[in-house]
Amino acid sequence: MFGDLFDEDFSVLSHNQCGKTKLKLKDTELPFPRENTNLSGIKNQGGTCYLNSLLQTLLFTPEFREALFSIGPEELGSLDDTHKPESKVRIIPLQLQRLFAQLLLLDQNAASTTDLTDSFGWNSNEEMRQHDVQELNRILFSALETSLVGTSGHNLINQLYHGTVVNQIVCKECKNVSERQEDFLDLTVAVKDVPSLEEALWNMYVEEEHFETDNLYRCGACNKLVEATKSAKLRKLPPFLTVSLLRFNFNFEKCERYKETSCYTFPVQINLKPFCEQTQLDDMEYMYELFSVIIHKGGCYGGHYHVYIRDIDELGNWQVLEEGSLNDEEKELKQNENDKNKENPLTILKNILLEYLQNNSQAFLLNSDESKVRLNDQSHYLHFGPPSQSHLQNEDMKMSLEEASTDLNKCSSESHWFDLNDSKVQPIREREIEKQFQGNESAYMLFYRKSQMMRPSEARGNPRYRVPSHLLNEMDAANIKLQKKRTECDLADNTIDLHLHICSHYKFYNGALHPLRSQKEGEDATLYNTGLFDGADIFVWNGKEVDGVEIQTGSDHEPVLINVLRLAAHNEGRKGQQFVEYQHVFSCSSSLRMICETLTSSKGIILKSHSGSEREAENWKVIPEEDMEKSLRTVGLTDGSSILVLDIHDQSMVNVAGGNLTAFTHDISWLQVKNFCKLEAEEMQVKITATIETVMSDIRIKAIEEMQLDKELVNNSCLRPISKNGKLLCPVPEDYTVKEAELKMGSLLGLCSGKAPTATQLFLYFIVGHDLQSSPEKEIVVEETATVKECLNLMLKKSGLTDSPTFLQSEVDLRYMGDIEISGEAYLEDLKMQDLLLRVLMSIPGERDYYHPVELIWDISRECTASALRERIAAYYSLPVEKIEIAKYSPGKFEWIPISSWTQQVSKKKKKKKSDSLQLSPYNLKDGDIIGVKNLLVDDSKDFSTIKDDIGKQMQKQLTVEKPSSVQNDGFHEKKMTKHHKPEAVLSISVGVFS
């Protein structure tokens, strides 16, 4: 009867109660306050547990945290200036500072890393994909070093984490010592067949390798093969020592990766003196204490990271270690201890001291409340030593004193450790670390700090210590805002809100009461001691009619409150919610047909839940067409019953003939499709329902049909995701499913003209013009076998340019072009047909990595030999020709082929032999090839490979074995399938140029 009388309240009602209802704030999702530990966790964005563990370790490294905080906005810039064209904001350290401040001071149980990962240049793909925490540690440090160039913190990483190892070979004949020094930011130690960290370090830095018999060493001083010994020592120790455990190995017999789960112990304190070159210093110079253990749970191809951290500054509340977190053995020990010592050890000690002072009243004077003591003026002649036996006659008291002292020392010396597992933070005992020595869940990275490093007393328990004032102000303001919102929520939850509804404000039609929107919906009234429950509604009328319409009363016209569910549209409902639920009132005599038209349309359908659970698809049945004219009461719908209403475009998930729901909420994704084909005067946008297995071509065709666009677009259109800033991204392949396209619920897609690239084509963005800010962005589709020069020519043609000098910047979107990925800048003013466009990488001294690539134009009209290429590259870098080494990269094989001019045969004639050309085998040099360069003045290593190459080769071997094999099914053989894992994606962090 009451229609949508109370409809304005339904959006904020909690439907978990049939009678009593609570008002909820619908527009705000408040983070929960910190729990008893008073520490903040970090939210997992989908696959960022490895990032969370490393960030918590850096946060609880006070010297790192304070060094980062010491770099002010005058050096780093301001986040407010990020989008200004000419500003150089060092966004990564700024976001890291802000995240640390939130973790220290913001009253929330878990902080978000979204702003930080955005500053990394990561998209949803990186956030959902798990990576190796050791790799992240190196890449993050490299990104920070690059970001801090030119600031007072330029040497931050080196000062805290940089150490050196010296490798020495000693000739046994002339005693000549040949040594090579290596830098490190972390030490990688073996786990396989090694029982402990100490033994692994002994093998690395104490054991010597002997060159003898058939394995001799060529001594430069002796100029012959001799016997020698090779060893390594730690030359310089960093304040913080990071140790990576090689848990992941490769079985070459089975050609598969595996995780080493054997027992591997490591100490809480370690003395590195036996492993160092210099040993004359005091022993404390070599002592290190464990303060963080990053733990990996799972196998080689997936798992989860969390971290044990020692709270050095005692910022958290470690005493909340409750019995609920103890196992049965620990509970029994704790109970025995409580039974043995009924009083606190400090209380026992205090009582013993008081008794001693009272027994020596001639020497000590106590005040009235026994809180202070002073010497008696006449006590100067007394000898103060240990209490005599007469003062400790009670053996139980002596035992209590010893036990109290022991417990007191134990309490003060026990370290405060916490387990930080994404959003969850809980205190643990130090002995819990032993559980991570072995097994599927075991230690992966260890972090030690020098024992000599002491913290100032003012830092203890003070999270505001050394935090910059602007961040303190920001966090204080944010906490005030949070507290205000929480107070509002508490007030809303604990306030009785009564509504008076006057009959003159309503009219009756369609079998129900409806409010007159032009009138106030209620009158203020004060009710006291009426016994009304929270949220109760009072309707005032004459019992006969409303707005001149007679109201039918009685059981046949009793109003029914129905829970209505429908699929959530874009940005509707709570985060992650894929359906919305609200309540609607109908007369029990209302027909289902009338209800369907009221809620959706005449073409909609209604499903009824026939069991208590509404979360399973099989519990929903379609109401047959012949029952649509029946009333609610006839079909058995009563107060609290639930119905699921589907619009016409939702019905693809329903087998109407069978009457069953074939998919339900957790399988359904809402996608928005917007018309960008410029066929209509106004932009159109529709919502499309799809499961995670729906193919993109089906979504595109359904969108064209619902927007009633020209059918010719079916064969000449594509779907392109739209970024947060409104940019059209690369078209999604037609044969991709929603899951494969990694589209989230509510993703916005653009329907654009032109076909999506095929599996053998690439989609490129490029900008042509001197002013990159104002020049429009253009797009082309090319075959993946196209050369760089062919792509550049096509870009010029697309832009309507011919011979005019042009500045061009290009990039490949998420994929590779042939053998290279195009990035950076290329000047095409002098690019001719006889030129080769090469991508040159200069190696980073002491690291297996390279600086950012440069594109080098090389004129090969005269010669294309190794010596000519060396001269061109040496001239570019202003280096002597004899002081560089070069190699060509083969991405498909992850190999570097050295290019040596000394091995080529040069004729005495003016022209070189044709076989000397680098364009022929084995180099086959062409446009876009990658050339690596080693500067021998600073780096004598001849190894061009990188860590990424090692990973690539390893994955290549794995994929070779795991590639699906098949034979014809002729009745005697069956197709054999081998499960394979996706190749690991390379982890990278994008950093601006600040030099």
Residues designated catalytic = 49, 304
Three-class secondary structure of residue 916 per DSSP = helix
Task: Round to whole Å and give the CA distance between 740 and 921.
Answer: 40
How many CA atoms lie within 13 Å of 76's alpha carbon, on the beta-carbon side?
A: 24
**Residues with Cβ < 8 Å from 527, sequence gap 6 or more?**
498
Run of H or E including 550: strand 549-550
Task: Round to whole Å and give the CA distance between 535 and 514.
Answer: 20
**Residues with Cβ < 8 Å from 865, sequence gap 6 or more?**
901, 904, 912, 916, 917, 918
> Which tokens in the block code for residue 471?
């961040």
482-487: long-range contacts at Cβ-Cβ below 8 A with a sequence spacing of 24 or more? 482/30, 482/31, 482/33, 482/106, 482/107, 482/108, 483/107, 485/25, 485/28, 485/30, 486/30, 486/33
What does 624-672 look like in DSSP terms, one character per residue? PGGGTTSBTTTTT--TT-EEEEE-GGGGGGEETTTTEE---GGGEEEEE
Residue 765 — left, alpha, or beta (φ > 0 → left; ψ -120 to 50 → alpha)?
beta
Run of H or E including 496: none
Please give the torsion angle defined by the CA atoms of residues 269, 274, 280 and 286, in that order, rounded to the nearest 10 degrees. -20
Three-class secondary structure of residue 791 per DSSP = helix
47: burial class by Cβ within 10 Å (0-12, 13-18, 19+)?
middle
Report CA torsion sign: 719, 722, 728, 732.
negative
> Which tokens in the block code for residue 455?
């913290």
656 contacts 576 by C-beta, under 8 angstroms: no
Strands (E), 300-344: 302-310
Task: Round to whole Å and give the CA distance between 385 and 389.
Answer: 12
Three-class secondary structure of residue 622 per DSSP = strand
Measured at the alpha carbon of residue 672, what is the angle toward residues 669 and 678, in degrees to the nearest 5?
Answer: 155
Task: Round to whole Å and give the CA distance between 933 and 480.
Answer: 56
Measuring CA to CA, which residue among 24, 15, 117 is closest to residue 561? 15
Buried b (16+ CB within 10 A) or exposed e, 81-99: eeeeeeeebbbbbbbbbbb
> Which tokens in the block code for residue 53?
């563990």
Task: Round to whole Å and give the CA distance between 773 and 83.
Answer: 12
561 contacts 640 by C-beta, under 8 angstroms: yes
Helices (H), 279-422: 328-340, 345-359, 395-413
Task: Round to whole Å and give the CA distance between 625 and 392.
Answer: 95
Task: Round to whole Å and give the CA distance between 931 and 890.
Answer: 10
**DSSP 8-state assignment for residue 21:** -
Which residue is listed with tokens 């100029």? 223
702 contacts 692 by C-beta, under 8 angstroms: no
Measured at the alpha carbon of residue 161, what is the angle toward residues 158 and 163, in degrees to the nearest 5?
Answer: 85
> Which tokens in the block code for residue 190?
């073996």
Measuring CA to CA, which residue among 134, 159, 143, 136 is closest to residue 70? 159
> Which tokens in the block code for residue 165?
């190892």
Three-class secondary structure of residue 406 per DSSP = helix
Report which residue type is found at 300. Answer: C
Task: Round to whole Å and give the CA distance between 109 and 994.
Answer: 35
> Which tokens in the block code for residue 786?
């196209």
